[in-house]
Amino acid sequence: MVQISPVRISETPEWQALAAHGGEMRNVHLRDLFASDPERGLTLRVDGADLHLDYSKNRLTARTIDLLVAVAERAGLAQRIEAMWSGEHINVTEDRPVLHIALRAPRRASITTGGVDVVPGVHEVLDRMSEFARRVRSGEWTGHTGKRITTVVNIGIGGSDLGPAMAYEALRPFSDRSIECRFVSNVDGSDIWEATHDLDPGATLFIVSSKTFTTLETLNNAKTARDWLVSGLGDSSAVARHFVAVSTNAEKVAEFGIDTSNMFGFWDWVGGRYSYDSAIGLSLMVSVGPEAFVDMLEGFHSVDEHFRSAPFRENLPVLLGLIGVWYNDFFGAETQAILPYNHYLARFPAYLQQLDMESNGKSVTLSGEPVDVATGPVVWGTPGTNGQHAYYQLIHQGTRLIPADFIGFVTPNHDVGDHHDLLMANFFAQTEALAFGRSAPQGQPYRSFAGNHPTNTILADQLTPRILGELVATYEHKVLTQGVIWGINSFDQWGVELGKELAQRIVPELTAPETPALAHDSSTNTLIARYRAGRGRP
């Protein structure tokens, strides 16, 4: 058994050496770093699986990497990686193993926890998903009235929505365009209304995706969808052909009225935000087909292998994690921009927001002490060229340090005219401008670009299912790397509980026919009273 023994990283000589080095590096400019080492663009780069990372346009030297690697070693990163792979309960507050890496393990692999090999179960579900996806795609699975399914509506939220929604958009070039997928997550009734109002119930399949099957938003949306379907088809037995579930909770699925033979399971060792390569990706599999889904899993797996075996200095996710720690903890950076130069990756930053912020937005260590270092950054971004005409101004000339990951591809998904060369010219120009800046003409300080803005460039051949899997696995392992260094649990999410509990308490206060006795603070009481009055309630 590998033991998890978190160290208070700030008290280690490794961290202190890094802090001292941070002081020396604070005023060093990327212009000087490239001038003193013109070859750094050839050395500060790494390949992991099919991804290429150029990290030379960062405010660091080879010594910085040495010191960061020493911190990772001191934090026990290698041991934690092995503990994860060995099925230990590294999610200590929920007392669970963390085995999303098993979701993409090949059939021949063996990954055990508590003496049980989980890989056969993973492939059993994948086989059932493949068969189901094949039947929907071929038209063999029909709706209650015998129609082919032409729209799939995934109902879920958080990890049960963001992953499949992101990947569906990302892999549009690989999808069957005769089946549209829609994604409903918000409990705002407008979401389910917009998703269903123009659909033919007879040709619509709902996938209710919820790990727990207790999430208020998802269950409400699913009930509304069921009412819409039954009233549209005039027969409650239609539910059997139009609803399937993805969950770990068979009892609740049955209680809702979905036949558990139409349920695709997963396991409590998969965190919601680490789950879209499980059955939570069923809508994606229907869209792109089982073969493309398996290609994506192989991409995930190749980065898993790289992460587990490459030395930290040559380990792409580890390096991304270490560079993030460098700015987060020694340069006061509060955010991390994710800037994909690919139209289909529009939802990638939003997906990474949950992955990163729900994982590392923590302020208590694994030993239950308050952290004394800065933890997870605010993650944000949109596709790059659109950002250039919106918020890049602030990155270039504002007062904040905003580390950014630029993600681009050599081969376009659609080679239209000279669009791709123009796109990629912008991609390369931006990191160059951010790094080196430009001095202002005499008397025009507003035209000065200070430069020294750090970027990572991730370059791959083409956005394919395999490469998407590689990108997601890279960021999953980046998040783990940082969580280990900060000494926090990247796999729980207690921070979402309080708001949920208070909302449950407030629901009857909004809907009570008589004036309720409100015992909140004066602000909340007044707002609730105003809302009730607006809704015509006393």
Q: Which residues lie near ligand F6P (CB under 6 A)?
A: 157-160, 210-212, 215, 218, 272-273, 358, 493, 496
Q: Identify which of residues 351 and 380 has a Cβ nearer to ligand F6P in the complex.
A: 351
Q: Identify which of residues 54 and 358 has a Cβ nearer to ligand F6P in the complex.
A: 358
Pair of tokens at residue 469: 């899997």
Per DSSP, the three-state class of 208 is strand
Nearest distance from C-beta of residue 212 to ligand F6P, angstroms: 3
Q: Give the amino acid at 92.
A: V
Nearest distance from C-beta of residue 248 to ligand F6P, angstroms: 8
Q: Identify which of residues 209 and 382 has a Cβ nearer to ligand F6P in the complex.
A: 209
Task: Tell me the C-alpha distance between 98 and 86, whole Å.
Answer: 9
Nearest distance from C-beta of residue 167 to ligand F6P, angstroms: 15
Q: Identify which of residues 445 and 499 has a Cβ nearer to ligand F6P in the complex.
A: 499
Instruction: Report in angstroms the alpha-carbon separations of 298 from 281, 320, 386, 535.
Output: 15, 21, 31, 53
Q: Identify which of residues 160 and 375 has a Cβ nearer to ligand F6P in the complex.
A: 160
**How far is residue 31 CA from its own chain's centroid?**
34
**How far is residue 197 CA from its own chain's centroid?**
29
Closest CA to 97 of 6, 4, 30: 4
The 8-class DSSP code of residue 438 comes to B
Q: Identify which of residues 154 and 375 has a Cβ nearer to ligand F6P in the complex.
A: 154
Nearest distance from C-beta of residue 218 to ligand F6P, angstroms: 5
Q: Identify which of residues 249 and 430 has a Cβ nearer to ligand F6P in the complex.
A: 249
Nearest distance from C-beta of residue 36 to ligand F6P, angstroms: 46
Nearest distance from C-beta of residue 216 to ligand F6P, angstroms: 9
Closest CA to 277 of 253, 250, 299: 299
Closest CA to 40 of 25, 30, 51, 52: 30
Q: Identify which of residues 58 and 359 has a Cβ nearer to ligand F6P in the complex.
A: 359
CB 143 within 8 A of CB 149: yes
Nearest distance from C-beta of residue 264 to ligand F6P, angstroms: 13
- Which phi and psi angles does 240 have, rounded to 5°? -60, -35
Query: What residues form DSSP beta bridges with 46?
Result: 53
Instruction: Report in angstroms the alpha-carbon separations of 214 from 60, 246, 276, 306.
Output: 47, 12, 19, 36
Nearest distance from C-beta of residue 16 to ligand F6P, angstroms: 35
Instruction: Report in angstroms the alpha-carbon separations of 279 from 123, 128, 435.
Output: 11, 10, 42
Q: Kindly give the residue spans of alpha helices, DSSP state H, lying in 247-391.
A: 250-256, 282-288, 290-309, 316-330, 348-353, 359-360, 384-388
Q: Identify which of residues 362 and 396 has a Cβ nearer to ligand F6P in the complex.
A: 362
Name the active-site residue from 358, 470, 476, 509: 358
Task: Tell me the C-alpha distance between 244 and 434, whole Å.
Answer: 48
In terms of C-beta distances under 8 Å and separation of at least 24 residues, what long-range contacts does 373-376 make, across chains too?
Answer: 373/9, 373/10, 373/15, 373/329, 373/486, 374/328, 374/329, 374/332, 374/334, 375/328, 375/482, 375/486, 375/488, 376/482, 376/486
**Does residue 497 have an active-site annotation?**
no
Q: Which residues of 303-326 are buried (b: 16+ CB within 10 A; e: fewer)?
A: bbebbeebebeebbbbbbbbbbbb
Nearest distance from C-beta of residue 211 to ligand F6P, angstroms: 4
**Does residue 94 have an active-site annotation?**
no
Which 3-state string (H, E, C) describes 329-347? HHCCCCEEEEEECCHHHCC
**Does residue 123 have an active-site annotation?**
no
Q: Name the residue whose CB lies closest to ligand F6P.
A: 272
Task: Tell me the C-alpha distance between 532 and 512, whole Å.
Answer: 9
Name the active-site residue from 39, 389, 414, 514: 389
Task: Tell me the C-alpha distance between 340 and 381, whole Å.
Answer: 8
Pair of tokens at residue 506: 């407030």
User: What is the set of active-site residues?
Assistant: 358, 389, 500
